Amino acid sequence: MAIRRALSISPPPALTAALLAFALLPLSAAFAQDGSILTYHGDNSRSGQYVVPALSWAKVGSVQLDRTFNARVAGAMYAQPLYWRPPGASTATLFVATEDDVVQAFDATTGKEIWKRAIGRAVRASSLPCGNINPLGITGTPVIDPATEAIYFDAAVEQANGPRHEVFALSTRDGTVLPGWPIDVADALRRSGRQFDPRVQNQRAALTLLDNTLYVAFSGHFGDCGDFHGWVVGLSLHDPSKLVSFETRARGGGIWSPGGPSVAGHDIYFATGNTFGATSWSDGEAVFRVGAGLRRSDDKRDYFAPSDWKTLDAHDADLGGSNPLPLDVPGAGGNRALILALGKDGKAYLLDRNRLGGVGGQLAVETVSQSLIITAPATYRVGNDVFVAFRASGTHCPPGRGHDLTVLKITAGPPPAMAAAWCGAVRGRGSPIATTTDGHSDPIVWMLGAEGDDRLHAFRGDTGEPIFVSEPLSGLRRFQTPIATHDRLYVGADEQIYAFKF
């Protein structure tokens, strides 16, 4: 996502080495040295891997909370912070969005507020038929487009005619609303002949930007009330009145994972939740592959659902709580293009990325957790081995609470397979990330014990050895995930941002 411009002078040796390391990285890795984290988990594949040359195993001991950093946030924060250093800028900017329908920009070094924009009145719980966020404002992580110098997000806004979902574009320079925005989602869909009830639809998934189109996924509220559906709406950045959409055929099927739609190449992947009253499969409990136009395909290459989808529907044990994770797994004859899908029933599915397989068409399935899996997974490599970290108590973890981080090792096969690698002693509901110094060396898995022990934890990515734990942090919300830059880790929380320097 980030723009990288050629230097007009010869770079110093350290930068040359960094650029060479970047050239050897998988495209999914977020290269923190360039100063930009513009989307959820650092890249459109949602890898959650950040390259931080200064953060090796030996230097983890230098990580400490920066008590001089003072970024005061207006409201509760579920969305991940974003970080951008525009070309030529002397410092980077942090962006946050909150449930008070407020977006703020902060100096990333000092935490001083640069601008603050309240875009409307957040929706009160009393205005909604169900839900567990009060007030309800901006929940899904925004996305920044450096070409338009704008930050895009969906907000639940209380209007005279009731709760609405409005998609905004704000200037990253001063927070002003760009011409042509916001877009009222229900109104835009109605003009295209579709019905969308903003009272029963919620927007929890991170937004995705691909080829100048903004993709926004919707689900229902906690409690599954009303006639909601799983939606993805695509809006052109240059003409937001142009709209494409996907809607599940049955009621339900919400697309609500915090990671949102993921991307591999020019294909978009998303997972749906349980549907209601479906006697034949009608888009629930599924992983979809779509193109830019979001057209549904009946080709088995373009969708997957477990063969027991109806049982999963009945038990609210859906796939929609975690985003599909693209993986390139080394094997004989080259990399194997896979998708990992995780279910609330504790199962993990490996899918052929180019042929998802239809109903029951997985390449491999394993029960990998003894608890619900609702997370945004992260992936990294140790040598040629691919690992995936996610929040759950794995089947091979010690029983009881306290080991809420599970790491799998993925092999290409044939057939592809998953095996437990290690478990992390952390109690909480954060979503993990991974850092390496160059794309493969010194892997570290970081996870917040959000709504649990409320600490930031770090583990060696190869062995699971604990190597860092912070003091307790206040205001951490479930699913919150840290970001890693060239010299700091940032954590978003209610009413503040924490900065860890090293």
- Digit-coded pLDDT (tens) for 320-376: 999 999 999 998 778 999 999 999 999 999 999 999 999 999 999 999 999 999 999
Q: What percent of the chain has pLDDT over 70?
A: 93
Poorest-pLDDT segment among 3-7, 249-253, 322-326, 403-407 = 3-7
- Digit-coded pLDDT (tens) for 257-292: 999 999 999 999 999 999 999 999 999 999 999 999
Q: How many helices (H) and strands (E) does the chain have?
A: 3, 40
Residue scoring higher pLDDT (29 or 457): 457
On whether the CB atoms of residues 140 and 203 are closer than 8 A, the answer is yes
For residue 13, pLDDT over 60 is answered with: no
Please, what are the domains in the chain?
13-501 (2.140.10.10)
Residues 32 and 482: their CA atoms lie apart, in Å, by: 13
Sign of CA dihedral 160, 161, 167, 169: negative
Residues 218 and 212: their CA atoms lie apart, in Å, by: 20
Q: In what side-by-side order are the strands of the sheet with 358-359?
A: 262-264, 267-271, 287-290, 303-305, 358-359
- Digit-coded pLDDT (tens) for 483-497: 999 999 999 999 999
> Degrees (nearest 5) of the Cα angle 474, 96, 232?
115
Cα distances (Å, whole numbers) of residue 393 to 158, 181, 343, 396, 479? 39, 43, 13, 8, 15
pLDDT band at 400 (very low <50, low <70, confident <90, very high): low
Sign of CA dihedral 360, 364, 369, 370: positive
Q: Which residues pair with 456 in a beta bridge?
A: 448
The predicted model gives 427-433 an average pLDDT of 97
pLDDT band at 34 (very low <50, low <70, confident <90, very high): low
Provide CB contacts within 8 A for 172, sequence distance 6+.
84, 86, 93, 95, 105, 144, 149, 150, 151
For residue 5, pLDDT over 70 is answered with: no
Cα distances (Å, whole numbers) of residue 54 to 213, 264, 438, 460? 35, 29, 10, 15
The predicted model gives 375-401 an average pLDDT of 92
The predicted model gives 143-162 an average pLDDT of 97
Provide CB contacts within 8 A for 174, sequence distance 6+.
115
Nearest to 428 by CA among 380, 387, 464, 470: 470
On whether the CB atoms of residues 338 and 324 are closer than 8 A, the answer is no
> What's the pTM?
0.93
Per-residue confidence (pLDDT) for residue 38, from 0 to 100: 98
For residue 8, pLDDT over 90 is answered with: no
- Digit-coded pLDDT (tens) for 291-325: 999 999 999 999 999 999 999 999 999 999 999 99
Structure-derived torsion over alpha carbons of residues 443, 479, 205, 283, reported in degrees to the nearest 10:
90
Q: In what side-by-side order are the strands of the sheet with 143-145?
A: 143-145, 150-159, 162-171, 183-184
- Amino acid type, 482: P
On whether the CB atoms of residues 448 and 61 are closer than 8 A, the answer is no
Structure-derived torsion over alpha carbons of residues 366, 370, 372, 377, reported in degrees to the nearest 10:
-60
Give the up-direction half-sphere exposure of residue 19: CA atoms within 13 A in the CB hemisphere.
11
On whether the CB atoms of residues 404 and 375 are closer than 8 A, the answer is no
